[in-house]
Amino acid sequence: MKKALIDRMYDRVATHGHVCLGLDTDYSYLPHNFAKDFSSPAEAVYEFNRKIIDSTLDVVACYKVQIAYYEAMGLEGMACYAKTLKYLREKGAIIIADIKRGDIAKTAEMYAQAHFTSDFEADFITLNPFMGMDTLSPYMPYFRDNDKGAFVLVATSNPGASDIEGLECKGSSVSEHVGSMVSKLSEEFTGECGYTAIGAVVGCTNREQTVKIRENLANLFFLIPGYGAQGGKAEDIADYLKGGNGGVVNSSRGVLLAYKKPEFAHLSFYDAARAECERMRDDILSHCK
């Protein structure tokens, strides 16, 4: 019998480390000598993604594909997005579609159908709950019946997060209140690993909050942005993990542009991406010990 999605994610972290490779691929990130050989930016981005995937599949836990970068290229970009997701599925990778949807009722039903089936199918999606918990309701049948999951925005890594997330709400912060509701809502989707298919997005740029967040959200698997370019460090991540597991750590530009780093200048862009994933993986693992 096939393991539940959240258990497969847990196992991938145990065997491959914590890296979530963000395919937030802008055409400007591509090496000129590579990009010039293609007839369109979208075609070049897809081939860039494909080479990155082939080079890193055995050293990352999962891939996060940010839809905005593909929407910006129009129809060809959305075809590139679909092709990238299809290629990841063919490779057996775990996919997080970073779509940050946050609507209700029939609109959310259509988002669920779009991103859990058809050309845009992913394993997990990101959701914005700040219109209320009914923003999550239309996705529940897919969590329950189709082995899908989500990461819900709880404590993000951007500088303005405190503008709303930090406000007091019924004796706790908005972030704590949202996290508590998500934790309770997710209980029926708990896997054998003890984590739920509905996880939380929690940034690693505010270390004084990490212990409290993990204590309060013990059953939630974390998608952790903020490492590298946003200032988060491996030691900031360790407190989010239990026994070295319970979360994946996203890096996008740090991996996609690794070929520009002096220490990787002798490597192809895809070998440099692999080397950066290995460096990041080992950095995080060293602090988990």
Phi/psi region, residue 35 (left: phi>0; alpha: psi -120 to 50; beta: rest), is alpha
pLDDT of residue 289: 67
Distances (CA, A) of 249 to 18, 20, 94, 112, 252: 6, 5, 14, 24, 10
For the whole model, what pTM was predicted? 0.96
Judge whether 100 counts as a catalytic residue.
yes
Contacts of 13 (CB under 8 A, 6+ apart): 61, 245, 246, 247, 248
Q: Read off the pLDDT of residues 90-139 as tens digits, 9 standing for 90 and up.
A: 999 999 999 999 999 999 999 999 999 989 999 999 999 999 999 999 99
Q: Which domains does the chain have, with CATH numbers?
A: 5-288 (3.20.20.70)
pLDDT at 12: 98
pLDDT at 228: 75
Distance of CA 222 to the CA centre of its chain: 9
pLDDT value of position 115: 98
DSSP 265: T
Query: What was the pLDDT predicted at 172?
Result: 87
Name the catalytic one among 100, 170, 184, 260.
100
Please report the pLDDT score of residue 153 as a whole number. 97
Helices (H) and strands (E) in the chain, counts: 12, 10
Cβ–Cβ < 8 Å for 17, 58: no
What does the alpha-carbon distance between residue 225 and residue 279 come to, in Å, rounded to a whole number?
Answer: 17
Segments in the chain below pLDDT 50:
none
